[in-house]
């Protein structure tokens, strides 16, 4: 049978996917049993599994597949949730490409496979040759933890590490490319393939991306919360006319901000430097003010800067807690780079030293709050402006206040899309949708409702929304009430946490409505969650398990199995941050 003509990856439907998985596992098992005897090197199968929340690891995996193909290998690129743990032993050549989420956790699509692989009794992987590429961000305590866990576990199970793991920080492209360029030829080794296409991995890149964002125009910047609210949430409409770009409800738009000029000036003063001093950035001379405004993360202090500052200042309190992540994080709460400079005047830095300790300025992702079908030329965003006072200064989040305060009609907003292929309105218009999105978590659900409206979908829609106070923070109220009146929004359950003494959250409403919620799930309903990853999404997950156990009359383990099946069917998906 000829397997080399199978596509690297394709949007298979469920039936095709099941068939392919079966075929693929059988083929792998057959080939590894007969390795050396019948497996000719130029048809070597390489399995590339990705764990990805927002698409970066997935995009690297697709590139790796293209490069592997150019080396004469037969690549299978798979999301981790498309593979069972017991299939792993049959993968002779395996690349794991995964990001890390939450606090050192697996991305959602990797969790079930990871649970299987890390379970006691997992079979030996002695016939597997593997390497791991880990994507992460050094500003998190558990840098690249998911990749590290995979690497350690595969080795523990007897698999042969053919190439050392590479951990990538936010600018992952170069190290990822270097890893692929080393590990893939190594696996293809001896195949004698000559038609190597070094740029093969570049083929799937959209025209506008991280390195080449589209200069969009901001059309609307409107306050959603009341002026008297304790928070500020804004509605933005950004024109993508003329870009040739399109998007789906569920995707995110990334915005590349610039830093606030006032903060730049204050930092330059604190350093005792001048704005027009030159510094070297990427081998080019740039004026300091320009570098700080456009190229570096100057609000959130980098770990390198904190360590150097502690060493140069002799600050005993700071030096004493450098190794204690909880104490350090408490100390840093509310302190930005400027606070640290101002509070430690004995630590002196030249402009070059300072710049060398900074991380590159990153884009921020925003879940799109419009449907690309209803609004093909504009993208709507729902953004909470980060503003807080601490240490006698006003502090502002870089990107949320760039949009709120700094962008005018003439300022290009540099943007690119990141698709979220699983966070989608179901293809079947008749299936129920349950959406849990407090705060800015409402964003993709506004898009989902527009999408259902556009499609004239008959399926029921249920939104759980909440925020601090109904009077000031009930955003998009008119739209939601109109959807209720029209019947598009079948149910709307609200939880305003600060309208009464005891907090009421969306998960409390879920529990109250548990019987009906379970009925919707049992009718084939989809369960979507968006918003805060650290508290809300965890509590909502717990509430979901409780609802299923109580109203499905299931044991705790059966409720876990029920939820896992929802995840496998992509009927429980999250967009959390
Ligand atoms: C996939 C995805 C989708 C997202 N969708 C949305 C969305 O739809 N809407 C939305 O608003 N955001 C969304 N976000 C979050 C968004 O990307 C940014 O993280 C957010 O706007 C803050 O960025 P910033 O640059 O304004 O703040 P930053 O400059 O990054 O500063 C944020 C930091 O400030 C500190 N901080 C914040 N508040 C306080 C406080 N009260 N006291 C002390 N310190 C504080 C914290 O250290 C925090 O990490 C999403 C994120 C992801 C990953
Ligand atoms: N990881 C992150 O850094 C992160 C995560 C989420 C949001 N944010 C940022 O915070 C800003 C505001 O976010 P937002 O408007 O989306 O939401 P938010 O202001 O954090 O909260 C929205 C609602 O959720 C409630 N809530 C708090 N804890 C909860 C829990 N455990 N379970 C359920 N609900 C809970 C809040 O109640 P109370 O406040 O009254 O308790 C409030 O009513 C944005 O800038 C956003 O980007 C950052
Ligand atoms: C909410 C959130 C939590 C994260 N937690 C971690 C973490 O604990 N450790 C880490 O190294 N990176 C962490 N990251 C960074 C991601 O791993 C990194 O951005 C990665 O490139 C994302 O890849 P993906 O798009 O394939 O998911 C986190 C990112 C977000 C948005």
Q: Which ligand is nearest to the CA of 439?
A: 2
Q: Average of pLDDT values for 74-93?
A: 97
Angle subtended at Cα 296 by Cα 141 and Cα 144, rounded to the nearest 5 degrees: 25
Q: Average of pLDDT values for 476-481?
A: 98
Asked if the model's pLDDT at residue 33 lies above 50, the reply is: no
Does domain 261-356 fall under CATH 3.40.50.11810? My reply is no
Long-range residue pairs from 195-198, CB within 8 A, at least 24 positions apart, any chain? 195/70, 195/72, 196/70, 196/71, 197/67, 197/70
Domain with CATH 1.20.990.10 in the chain: 261-356
pLDDT confidence tier of residue 199, bands split at 50, 70 and 90: low
Q: Is 101 in the pocket of ligand 1 (CB under 6 A)?
A: no
Reduced to 3 states (helix: H, G, I; strand: E, B; else coil), residue 442 is helix
For residue range 386-427, what is the model confidence (pLDDT) as tens digits?
999 999 999 999 999 999 999 998 999 999 999 998 999 999
% of the chain exceeding 90 in pLDDT? 87
**How far is residue 336's CA from residue 396's CA, in Å, rounded to a whole number?**
10
pLDDT confidence tier of residue 5, bands split at 50, 70 and 90: very low
Output the pLDDT for position 42.
53
For residue range 481-507, what is the model confidence (pLDDT) as tens digits?
999 999 999 999 999 999 999 999 999
User: Which residue has a Cα nearest atom 31 of ligand 3?
Assistant: 577
Q: Which atom of ligand 1 has the smallest separation from the CA of 369?
A: 8
Q: Which atom of ligand 2 has the smallest separation from the CA of 534?
A: 1
For residue range 222-265, what is the model confidence (pLDDT) as tens digits?
999 999 999 999 999 999 999 999 999 999 999 999 999 999 99
- DSSP annotation of 523 reads T
- DSSP annotation of 225 reads S
**How far is residue 524's CA from residue 207's CA, in Å, rounded to a whole number?**
38
Asked if the model's pLDDT at residue 25 lies above 90, the reply is: no
**How far is residue 210's CA from residue 216's CA, in Å, rounded to a whole number?**
14
Question: Which tokens sit at 206?
Answer: 């959209």
Residues in contact with 527: Cβ distance below 8 Å, sequence separation at least 6, in sequence order: 434, 436, 521, 544, 566, 571, 572, 573
Asked if the model's pLDDT at residue 13 lies above 90, the reply is: no
37 alpha carbon to ligand 2 midpoint, in Å?
59
494 alpha carbon to ligand 2 midpoint, in Å?
15
CB-based contact 328:300 (threshold 8 Å): no
CATH code of the domain occupying 14-201: 3.40.50.360
235, 532, 541, best to mutate for ligand 2 pocket (most atoms within 8 Å of CB): 532
Tokens 């606070």, residue located:
339
pLDDT confidence tier of residue 211, bands split at 50, 70 and 90: confident
Tokens 């409403």, residue located:
509
**How far is residue 564's CA from residue 462's CA, in Å, rounded to a whole number?**
22
Asked if the model's pLDDT at residue 6 lies above 60, the reply is: no
Q: Is 339 in the pocket of ligand 2 (CB under 6 A)?
A: no
**How far is residue 425's CA from residue 526's CA, in Å, rounded to a whole number?**
9
**How far is residue 144's CA from residue 331's CA, in Å, rounded to a whole number?**
24
Q: Average of pLDDT values for 46-59?
A: 95
**How far is residue 134's CA from residue 124's CA, in Å, rounded to a whole number?**
23
The class that CATH gives domain 433-576 is alpha beta
For residue range 323-376, what is the model confidence (pLDDT) as tens digits?
999 999 999 999 999 999 999 999 999 999 999 999 999 999 999 999 999 999
Q: Is 497 in the pocket of ligand 2 (CB under 6 A)?
A: yes
Q: Is 258 in the pocket of ligand 1 (CB under 6 A)?
A: no
CB-based contact 435:462 (threshold 8 Å): yes
User: Which residue has a Cα nearest atom 14 of ligand 1?
Assistant: 366
Output the pLDDT for position 571.
97
SS (H, E, C) 184-211: HHHHHCCCCCCCCCCCHHHHHCCCCECC
Q: Is 102 in the pocket of ligand 2 (CB under 6 A)?
A: no
Q: Is 76 in the pocket of ligand 2 (CB under 6 A)?
A: no
Stated pTM of the model = 0.91
Q: Between 432 and 203, whose confidence is greater? A: 432
Q: Is 539 in the pocket of ligand 2 (CB under 6 A)?
A: yes
Asked if the model's pLDDT at residue 527 lies above 60, the reply is: yes
Output the pLDDT for position 483.
98
Q: Average of pLDDT values for 272-291?
A: 97
For residue range 312-321, what is the model confidence (pLDDT) as tens digits?
999 999 999 9
Q: Which atom of ligand 3 has the smallest separation from the CA of 168?
A: 21
362 alpha carbon to ligand 1 midpoint, in Å?
12
The stretches of 366-512 forming alpha helices (DSSP H) are 398-401, 443-455, 470-473, 477-486, 506-512
Q: Residues for the chain: how many in total?
A: 577
Output the pLDDT for position 27.
43
**How far is residue 160's CA from residue 163's CA, in Å, rounded to a whole number?**
9
Q: Is 250 in the pocket of ligand 3 (CB under 6 A)?
A: no
Q: Which ligand is nearest to the CA of 55?
A: 3
CB-based contact 419:448 (threshold 8 Å): no
Q: Strands across the sheet with 233-239, in order? A: 364-367, 252-256, 413-418, 214-223, 233-239, 378-384
Distances, alpha carbon 55 to alpha carbons 59, 187, 302, in Å: 6, 25, 25
**How far is residue 188's CA from residue 473's CA, in Å, rounded to a whole number?**
58
Residues in contact with 425: Cβ distance below 8 Å, sequence separation at least 6, in sequence order: 249, 250, 433, 448, 451, 452, 455, 457
Q: Which atom of ligand 1 has the smallest separation from the CA of 418?
A: 1
**How far is residue 97's CA from residue 347's CA, in Å, rounded to a whole number?**
40
Give the residues across from 387 on adjacent strands: 396
User: Which residue has a Cα nearest atom 11 of ligand 1?
Assistant: 383
Output the pLDDT for position 206.
72
**How far is residue 424's CA from residue 448's CA, in Å, rounded to a whole number?**
8
Q: Is 299 in the pocket of ligand 1 (CB under 6 A)?
A: yes
Output the pLDDT for position 436.
99
Asked if the model's pLDDT at residue 155 lies above 80, the reply is: yes
Q: Which ligand is nearest to the CA of 391?
A: 1
Domain with CATH 3.40.50.80 in the chain: 433-576
Q: Is 50 in the pocket of ligand 3 (CB under 6 A)?
A: no
Please state, rounded to an integer, the average pLDDT across all residues of the chain: 91
Q: Is 261 in the pocket of ligand 1 (CB under 6 A)?
A: no
243 alpha carbon to ligand 1 midpoint, in Å?
27
Output the pLDDT for position 516.
98
Q: Is 67 in the pocket of ligand 1 (CB under 6 A)?
A: no
Q: Average of pLDDT values for 99-103?
A: 96
User: Which residue has a Cα nearest atom 49 of ligand 1?
Assistant: 300
**How far is residue 403's CA from residue 413's CA, in Å, rounded to a whole number?**
8
Asked if the model's pLDDT at residue 67 lies above 60, the reply is: yes
Q: Is 532 in the pocket of ligand 2 (CB under 6 A)?
A: yes
Q: Between 378 and 41, whose confidence is greater? A: 378
Reduced to 3 states (helix: H, G, I; strand: E, B; else coil), residue 349 is coil
Asked if the model's pLDDT at residue 205 lies above 70, the reply is: no
Asked if the model's pLDDT at residue 12 lies above 60, the reply is: no
């Amino acid at each position: 049978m000829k397997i080399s003509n199978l596509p690297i990856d394709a949007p298979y439907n469920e039936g095709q996917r099941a068939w392919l998985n079966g075929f693929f596992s059988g083929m792998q098992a057959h080939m590894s049993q007969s390795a050396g005897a019948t497996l000719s090197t130029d048809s070597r199968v390489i399995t590339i599994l990705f764990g990805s929340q927002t698409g970066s690891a997935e995009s690297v995996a697709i590139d790796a597949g293209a490069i592997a193909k150019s080396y004469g290998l037969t690549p299978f690129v798979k999301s981790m949730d498309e593979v069972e743990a017991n299939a792993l032993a049959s993968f002779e050549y395996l690349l794991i490409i995964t990001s890390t989420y939450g606090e050192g956790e697996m991305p959602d699509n990797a969790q079930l496979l990871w649970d299987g692989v890390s379970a006691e009794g997992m079979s030996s992987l002695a016939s597997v040759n593997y390497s791991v590429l880990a994507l992460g961000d050094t500003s998190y305590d558990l840098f690249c933890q998911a990749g590290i866990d995979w690497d350690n576990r595969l080795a523990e199970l007897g698999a042969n590490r053919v190439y050392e793991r590479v951990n990538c920080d936010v600018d992952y492209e170069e190290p990822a490319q270097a890893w692929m360029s080393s590990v893939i030829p190594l696996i293809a080794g001896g195949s004698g393939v000559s038609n190597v296409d070094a740029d093969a991995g570049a083929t799937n890149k959209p025209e506008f991306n991280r390195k080449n964002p589209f200069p969009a125009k901001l059309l609307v910047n409107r306050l959603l919360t009341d002026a008297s609210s304790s928070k500020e949430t804004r509605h933005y409409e950004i024109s993508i006319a003329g870009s040739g770009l399109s998007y789906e409800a569920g995707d995110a738009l990334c915005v590349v901000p610039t830093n606030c000029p006032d903060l730049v000036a204050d930092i330059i003063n604190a350093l005792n430097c001048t704005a027009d001093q030159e510094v070297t950035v990427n081998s080019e001379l740039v004026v300091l003010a320009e570098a700080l405004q456009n190229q570096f993360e100057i609000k959130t202090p980098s770990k390198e800067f904190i360590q150097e500052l502690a060493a140069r200042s002799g600050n005993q309190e700071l030096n004493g807690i450098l190794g204690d992540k909880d104490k350090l994080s408490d100390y840093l709460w509310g302190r930005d780079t400027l606070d640290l400079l101002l509070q430690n005047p004995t630590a002196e830095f030249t402009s070059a030293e300072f710049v060398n300790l900074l991380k590159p300025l990153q884009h921020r992702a925003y879940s799109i709050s419009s449907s690309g079908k209803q609004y093909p030329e504009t993208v709507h965003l729902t953004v909470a402006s980060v503003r807080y006072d601490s240490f006698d200064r006003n502090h502002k989040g870089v990107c949320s206040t760039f949009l709120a305060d700094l962008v005018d009609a003439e300022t290009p907003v540099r943007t690119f899309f990141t698709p979220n292929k699983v966070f989608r309105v179901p293809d079947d218009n008749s299936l129920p949708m349950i959406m849990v999105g407090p705060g800015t978590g409402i964003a993709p659900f506004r898009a989902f409702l527009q999408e259902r409206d556009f499609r004239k979908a008959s399926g029921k829609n249920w939104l759980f929304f909440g925020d601090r106070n109904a009077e000031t923070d009930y955003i998009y109220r008119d739209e939601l009430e109109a959807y209720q009146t029209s019947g598009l929004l079948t149910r709307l359950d609200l939880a305003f946490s600060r309208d009464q003494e005891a907090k009421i959250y969306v998960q409390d409403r879920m529990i109250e409505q548990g019987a009906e919620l379970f009925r919707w799930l049992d009718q084939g309903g989809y369960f979507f969650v968006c918003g805060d990853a650290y508290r809300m999404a965890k509590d909502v997950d717990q509430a979901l398990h409780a609802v299923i156990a109580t109203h499905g009359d299931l044991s705790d383990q059966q409720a876990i199995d029920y939820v896992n099946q929802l995840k496998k069917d992509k009927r429980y998906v999250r967009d959390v941050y």
